[in-house]
Structure 1
């Protein structure tokens, strides 16, 4: 680990040296020397940290101001007729301000506000752009960071909006039941039946029957077993007498994040600077997500597509803490990694809540006759509107929080 941090610091120093060379090409631009001094100060900081060896931490390297200074140069290189950088301005009515880039021969002032070296969540980027700020960086869907999708109301009953046929079914004695402690799904009718657990578990599956045949491409050998995911197979396909079980679970990126998160592994007793993380910690104290996931996983074959592993690895390596990274390695060692299958490519359009990665993940689960474990309700509801009915088990979202604990306020466990 120490060697990896040293290599990272050395790479940053090399990038800074290249930046200094580029600044040498800016002739006649006021403030360039000031920018060079700031870059050299960052280089000296990293070199000093390298000499100390064991004291060097990855977060110190990644939080270096070199990223912001590099973004400032990018703004300079893309602007026209730049006459100054890091220029001070003041007036009788305003406090002194520092303008990062003065362009268009003084007519345009540019302030570099944010540079997201770890990527930026879509909601944050949208909010900043709503304030007139130009945001640059890799945009990551909120659900892939464990951030709840606030456009989806988790308290909505999945029993709403049934068709007339379903109303007839209810009149005949079938009903959409909340799952009790044994989490049994009940259906006594051979027509279209939708069974949903109580909101905290967010488990749902929909099975279509016609002349005793399961029509959701899973056949009846894909019913979830009561031992593996809290569902009773004989009740899902009541018209088939032979009891068969699903023992395959396909994991979304959100499920892996939730499973290895510090919040779900003893780190829920914090008040974080981020309101969303504080809410998740409170939810975790009330309803431990890892316990729910372990119940799902019990006795099941776990799989994840390679594309999901690659994306998760990018996230955990960027914002995960040491313990979260260790848990992720241990957990992925338990999971079979399979090639992704984009079987919905010609049926599901990309856009809105539908991302290509999610389409591949859910398509892989369908292709391999596995139930997908996810917190991505937005994707599921979007593809349902396009005629696709994924079979899923929901969990509450959890974010990676270990690196946030140092700035959080601990609370006593109740």
Structure 2
């Protein structure tokens, strides 16, 4: 069936309207990393169609091949998925600092990677079976790449589950080939074999305590009273936030039933700080805490090298200094989630392509000695 130019332009306008609505829907999800980037890509697709209409060069192929088809399905799956932490998220490949794959949706706190596919089922089958132009990368090639990347990018010491979510039914032979590669196949959001959408979040029973966590756990600010106005602005700000959210309650609940470990570097640093600025009651609480923690040696060079694959390695920097590096690598080696207030270091590691399993809490200083110069409410 042929289309005259006015009909093609009408279809183009409808596609542009679809793109605008997608951007509006994504406005509700801008707290998710990468959503803004997806909105910019959708805007670029809209601009391409608009320019083609203005110049009278719009063809039906422009509409049929528009990436808005992909983005429409991406937004649909995104809205139906829980615990999303990233969209269009880059993952580095083994042996290269530059080569990456992009994960459409990272969910389940990083433990599930979802690739959404809205392409024509016949085209997918033809490429997979070699009935296409030479060099075209098939869905099976993508699957192998995802699986290898997942093995090299553990999340909380687990290989992420890889899901391919197809907008349309696919050939059983292709689905079976994907499942043999350990890909979960979903059709329109439904798991092909079980019908279940979301994966349970795993629980880790071992926690690695950072210096910042030990301080917060024994601080007078979290254990006695936060109704203080200190002469030091940063302490007053911590007291104000503590009145809103109890850090000690958070840590008590987190520690419940867990094995607590820490490295010698963390212990020595904590004791050094405690001896200088800790008050009498903070020192008593610290003694009880230290008795409940298993302290192990810092990992050695051989153990450290066993953590890394290829040339991907956590590097020291402004936000990742020597002590933090020791604490993070210790936790990763012992397969323990690191509990820390050092959010900046965890984010800096992520920027390097290293996902350090962490639980972040707010920082709290030792304040007992400072109360003598503070005002009590």
The TM-score with structure 2 as length reference comes to 0.52
Kept after mapping to 1: 8 A contact 2:153/2:159: no
Question: Is 1:288 paired with 2:246?
Answer: yes
Residue of structure 2 equivalent to 1:394? 360
Structure 1 residue 252, shift from structure 2 partner: 0.9
- Aligned length in residues: 227
CA distance in 2 between partners of 1:277 and 1:331 (Å): 23
The DSSP-based 3-state class of the residue aligned with 1:382 is helix
* Higher RCO (CA-CA < 8 Å; seq separation 6+): 2
Equivalent residue for 1:220, pick from 139, 158, 180: 158
Q: After the TM superposition, which residues 166-315 of structure 1 pair with which residues of structure 2 at under 5 Å, given as runs?
A: 171-174=75-78, 185=83, 193-194=105-106, 205-207=109-111, 209=113, 210-211=146-147, 216-217=153-154, 218-220=156-158, 245-315=203-273
Are positions 1:380 and 2:346 aligned together? yes
2:327 to 361, 378, 388: 361
Structure 1, residues 188-235: CA drift from partner, whole Å, max 9, x if none?
A: x9x565569xxxxxxxx4336455966533443999xxxxxxxxxxxx
Structure 1 pair 194/244, CA: closer, same or farther in 2 (3 Å)?
closer
Give the 3 Å change call, closer, same or farther, for CA 303–408 of structure 1 in structure 2.
Answer: same
* Shift in Å, 1:172: 3.6
Question: Closer, same or farther in 2 for the Cα pair 1:239/1:358, shift >3 Å?
Answer: farther
Offset of residue 348 of structure 1 = 2.8
Residue segments in structure 2 that go unaligned for 5+ positions in a row: 1-29, 42-69, 88-102, 114-145, 162-195
Whether 2:328 is the aligned partner of 1:328: answer no
| Cα separation, 2, equivalents of 1:371 and 1:256 | 15
C-alpha distance 175-408 of structure 1, shift in aligned 2 (>3 A)? farther
CA RMSD of aligned residues (A): 3.8
Separation of aligned partners in 2, 1:259 and 1:316: 12
| Pairwise CA distance, 1:283 | 0.7
1:95-132 CA distance string (max 9 Å, x none): xxxxxxxxxxxxxxxxxxxxxxxxxxxxxxxxxxxxxx
Deviation at 1:160, TM superposition (A): 2.8
1:359–1:239 Cα change, 3 Å: farther
The Cα shift of 1:327 comes to 0.5
- Structure 1 counterpart SS, 2:32: coil
Q: Does 1:404 align with 2:308?
A: no
Q: 1:387 to 1:208 in 2, by over 3 A?
A: farther
Q: CA deviation at 1:369?
A: 1.1
Q: Which has more helix, going by share of residues? A: 2
Give the C-alpha shift of residue 173 in structure 1.
2.3
Spell out, residue by residue over 1:242-293, the C-alpha distance to the aligned partner (whole angstroms, 9 max, x if none): 9853111111111110110000012201111111111111111110001111
